[in-house]
Structure 1
Amino acid sequence: MTFDCNCSCTSLFGIRINEEYNAGKEQEMAINKDLIKESIRNIIIALGDDPNREGVKDTPDRVARMYEEVFEGMNYTNEEIAEMFNKTFDEDYYDANNQDLVYVKDIEVFSYCEHHLALMYDMKVSVAYIPNQKVIGLSKIARIADMAAKRLQLQERIGNDIAEIIERVTGSQDVAVFIEASHSCMTARGIKNASAKTYTQTLRGRFRTEPDLLARLK
């Protein structure tokens, strides 16, 4: 049996961090907004513009607030994200030898390439796992993907981060993560190939050793 979810339940309440958990981390946040504002002001100067000009005088503050949002995942380790979204349901029906899958497709996220700070966009994440006596709430899979992507990242690492977090939460070693994305460091600069897309797979456990399981996801 395969459960293939592409419904609105994953976004009904929005993908937002647990506010109580966030409050407890407030003093430990990695993002330094004041330093970001100073750095952006210096970049404006380095580009030959006037940092006091009407159009850009508030840009350092705007960018700092934007970075706080789009790089939210940098405040947390994979272990902390797993703790944050650790909502599972015990299901005795599932055991270590079952062939049933949970498969959530086409989770839309975005990230930033750590090499050029360039946007990775049109990114879709699909996550599959074989339950081992418990299942994770479906919306939590989308939340995990979103938080793992909100870092300075490589597409390959996003898949590994998501797989690690899903393993921690579900206790299942059988996890597969598929990602497709466009990278603006390729589409808007350098080679400027606007149609290029990158596809990555992260396979763990039985998804690596049993081709029939992987074939069921196509």
Structure 2
Amino acid sequence: MARDPSLLEDTGERYPPEHRVDLPRIERAVREILAAVGENPDREGLRDTPARVAGAYEFLFAGLGVDPTQQLTVGFQEDHHEMVLIRDIPFYSTCVPSKQIVNRVGKARRAADIAVGDKLWTLANGTVEKTTVKQVSSRKAWEIVEVVTERGIMRV
């Protein structure tokens, strides 16, 4: 369900209630981490770090719990049978525990730039799955990419 951004602007909130995180709690945790690694969270260069990290987490986790199928709806009807692509879609992935807090930040790639063996994230039944490109075939008018998922082969 799409939201009217003006409704959020009127309340001064950046995200609707179901997407909010506990900012003060995150700030306290970041201060504790800084202290635990031997830093002084009150020194000038770190004073605003807990708030910045909390704001970043608020942004990164804003889609947590959102049904992605609700975001992928048709906005208009056309009498065409060609594929329509959306490009430059922001993508953020977190994985804990891990060596990094943010494992992947990127965006959609052109089919022409994809090679065999590339690892891709593919939306399947409303969830994102890691996929491997098995074969890439060129056609005169478009690019075809074949990816293998746990559920089978998909051509895009």
TM-score interval, normalised by the smaller of the two chains: 0.5 to 0.7
Structure 1 unaligned regions, length at least 5:
1-16, 95-99, 129-154, 166-176, 181-199
- The answer to whether the aligner puts 1:125 opposite 2:96 as a matched pair is no
Following superposition, the deviation at residue 111 of structure 1 comes to: 1.9
SS at match of 1:208: strand
Give the 3 Å change call, closer, same or farther, for CA 33–127 of structure 1 in structure 2.
farther
Which has a greater percent of helix?
A: 1
Structure 2 unaligned regions, length at least 5:
112-118, 134-145
- The answer to whether the aligner puts 1:71 opposite 2:61 as a matched pair is yes
- The answer to whether the aligner puts 1:159 opposite 2:122 as a matched pair is yes
In the TM superposition, what are the counterparts of 1:111-150 in structure 2 within 5 Å?
111-115=92-96, 116=98, 117-121=101-105, 123-125=106-108
Task: Name the TM-score, length of structure 1 as normaliser.
Answer: 0.42
Following superposition, the deviation at residue 82 of structure 1 comes to: 3.7
SS at match of 2:83: strand
| Higher-RCO chain (CA-CA 8 Å, sequence separation at least 6) | 1
Identity %: 21
Task: Name the TM-score, length of structure 2 as normaliser.
Answer: 0.55
- In 1, distance between residues paired with 2:73 and 2:30? 37
Following superposition, the deviation at residue 72 of structure 1 comes to: 1.8
Which of 19, 23, 31 lines up with 2:5 in the alignment?
Answer: 19
- In 2, distance between residues paired with 1:107 and 1:58? 31
> Which stretches of structure 1, 4 residues or more, deviate above 2 A after TM superposition?
20-23, 25-30, 81-91, 105-110, 123-128, 177-180, 200-205
Give the 3 Å change call, closer, same or farther, for CA 114–105 of structure 1 in structure 2.
same
Count of residue pairs brought into register by the alignment: 125
- In 2, distance between residues paired with 1:179 and 1:18? 37
Alpha carbons 1:37, 1:60 under 8 Å: kept: yes
